[in-house]
Amino acid sequence: MGIEGYLEYNFSYQGVSHPVYRRGQGPGVLIMHELYGLSPEVVRFADWIAEAGFTVFVPCLFGGAGDQYSQTKGVLSASMACVRKSFSLLAKGQSSPITDWLRALGRSAFDELPGLGVGAIGMCLTGNFALTLMVDEHLLAPVLSQPSLPLSIGQSRKESLHISEENLRIVKKRIDEQGLKVLGLRFSEDWLCPKERFVTLRRRLGSGFEGIEIDSSPGNVHGIDSKAHSVLTADLVDCDGHPTLQARDRVIAFLKERLL
């Protein structure tokens, strides 16, 4: 099933192939969908990024394209990810195998398009993938939206990042030597992306990490549900002054600062 307004093609690397949906002009930005699959809310976000002056590449890693979210589909998508062994849901100190394919897609975008480099936006299950993609020199604008891997079972996993120590050192070196930044987003009460993870990001990346934590505590002024999780998609409120819309605008500004 295609997505209106997007060019669909298959991208293959080392025997792995996934459909990719492309739209826009300008520097490339990879948008990696969350547990819910490539939902209409992800497409809405991708539209915003394309309209801001970028070429978006939205791979469909599991599930259908443009499907409405349901709890059942979310569970099935997670199961499919596990079965394919592309996602290491509990792994500490290492990245999921699918990041090799995503890095190849990023290289392809950079080789073709103008601009200083490419950006990458991960969400939930794919949130930390943008960090791993920073190993490649062309990745200049990584965004980690509610990074949820490894799944926060136990304190050590809450504090962990889904990236190898070797790759994290490369990321830190690029931050120190090239002045790169990493942008992170989460809701304050989100147990899937625990606060300890952002503490680790600040500790390991120092001033190279910009974290936005949106208040979702009981009684918060914007009425955000304490179960809110998807900052840029399902829980984004398209209303002036809302902190989720401000977070989206910061993502767009971050991409422009780094890529244009």
What pLDDT score was predicted for residue 37? 80
Q: What is the pLDDT of residue 46?
A: 98
**pLDDT at residue number 62:** 78
Mean pLDDT value of segment 164-172 = 94
Q: What pLDDT, on the 0 to 100 scale, is given for residue 35? A: 79
Lowest mean pLDDT among 33-37, 43-47, 226-230: 33-37
**pLDDT (mean) for 185-194:** 96
Q: What pLDDT is recorded for position 83?
A: 41
Mean pLDDT score, 74-87: 52
Average pLDDT (193-214) is 97
Mean predicted confidence (pLDDT) in 105-126 = 94
Q: Is the pLDDT of residue 77 over 90?
A: no
| pLDDT tier, 89 (very low <50, low <70, confident <90, very high otherwise) | very low
Domain locations in the chain as residue ranges:
7-259
Residue 129 has, within 13 A of its CA and on its CB side, a CA count of 30
Task: Place 68 in a pLDDT band, splitting at 50, 70 and 90.
Answer: low
Burial (0-12, 13-18, 19+ Cβ within 10 Å), 49: buried
- pLDDT computed for residue 66 by the predictor: 62
The string of pLDDT tens digits covering residues 219-259 is 999 999 999 999 999 999 999 999 999 999 999 999 999 99
Q: Residue 42: its pLDDT value, please?
A: 95
Q: Say which CATH class 7-259 falls into.
A: alpha beta
